[in-house]
A and B are shown apart, each in its own frame.
Chain A
């Protein structure tokens, strides 16, 4: 091996898992950030070290398809001299020679630059904040990384096969540790665990499909037998689906369907975009709808790093602390998210777009919604949702794995899927009933066009209720099953 090969490296994942710590410890990631900081003399330095480990099993066609186990290290260094344009450097090698090479080359570029000073670049806010204490790391989840495969996967496959259905699915468990420091004195650390399990159950003829899922920070909160049972029930209820005319109808949206829509709400709360007329919260011809009623009075939307059902790291990408925010209260817009520069311009407190959203729940379960519904469509889940127009939050997407005609208080039969075209600023103003709130699973949800949020797996927690709404726009039939 040449001298290029590292002097220091991370022990292998099995060894780390055996030691009960699949990712680098706080001391190790912090030491790494400090090591990098010590290699640079730039005026402004920003270092993030993030180490993620995950254990994944995929299922398809009634058996295990494969796994996807491993870890990812990311070391990000931003350096800047004066007001000169900064340089961003990323590497995943932690040996001294690689690190020093990347840091010093980046610094050289930042120092010498390839253009004149850009005096319009304002300094970002850099004072350290007191962070909210959060509990995102759960030892039960770490233990599950080693123990679930042999027990959970056979149970899931067996449960679906028992119903004469074909199983596909996903079991993913992850852990991450991250440290961030800046030359100005910010030094923060977070660690988190997360897991998600999803099961698709399809009939042999491929004409009906059901899906269930759960996601949690703590593995013990996952009731995987319920996931398989729900998927099987959806598939069996959906056999021999019939086509119903598209149109505006009462919709009972399961929590996973609501989550697929509300994941786009984060950027709706962006103050700069809103003030420029680019979101549904813009007030035309200029300004925003702060203190105006924008949604049904039963809707409260908030985010809190210490949320017991989800929560997230208590600092923004700058390292500044994030606090609990109320975005919508009783349907009234209470706050917008001001990025550092825009906050300075507007004299507002700094807050990034929400990392997570909680929509306050109501008392009506899905079964009760069905019982109350004279005629409508129950939607288990949505797929391939995309923003059509940010200015109205108009979205399109397709029903998936459970779409049913509800008549006279009962699920009557399976329906062919629909495509929808609607905005939450319409249907969340036409609410008939709201159910209990829980963290919703996402399943396969890659980044959609126009989506600027964190979009890798696992997606940030979305804690939302099922809803029954009027006049939901099922605007076309979709042949997809």
Chain B
């Protein structure tokens, strides 16, 4: 129904009704606004409380973590210190021993090279005795080094000792192998040298005999013997078919 079609006599009543409705709506809006404000206040308080709780929890967690970190650091630091100390001792002794080994082997090689250059049989004898001596000394030195390492390190743990003994055994075997190889190589070199020297002497003697034979024959053969030899050579050439065309 269109509002402009209502008769004028009824307009006052209608206006009053509209006003009443509007007033009720305003009241309802005010109440609603209060409720919303109250709700928002509660939410804000709740958020603050939550933040505070969270902060506390984080602080507590950080505190625990820091404590745990400190404790872990202390443990690790202590362990690291001990391990470093132990490793340092082991490394120092180990590298020293290896250097000793290498020096001993190097010395043996140098001595061998010099001696090989001098002479043959004498060298073999001296070389063998030298090797035995060096081998004994080296074994003694290695054992002494191991004892010193064990005493010095203070790590008298059975497993560690076993480990070291295995390592030492390995070194000994390697050294033994190297010395045997060296001995074999030197022996081979000596044999080659002897063979070469023998060949030189043999060739020299051979040349001397050849020279003497030639001189003697050159002086000793008469012209008659030369004649016979020439005719014999011609006969031989004929027999071999040289003059056949």
| Genuine A/B complex | no
Q: A-side interface residues toward B, CB under 8 Å?
A: none
Q: B-side interface residues toward A, CB under 8 Å?
A: none
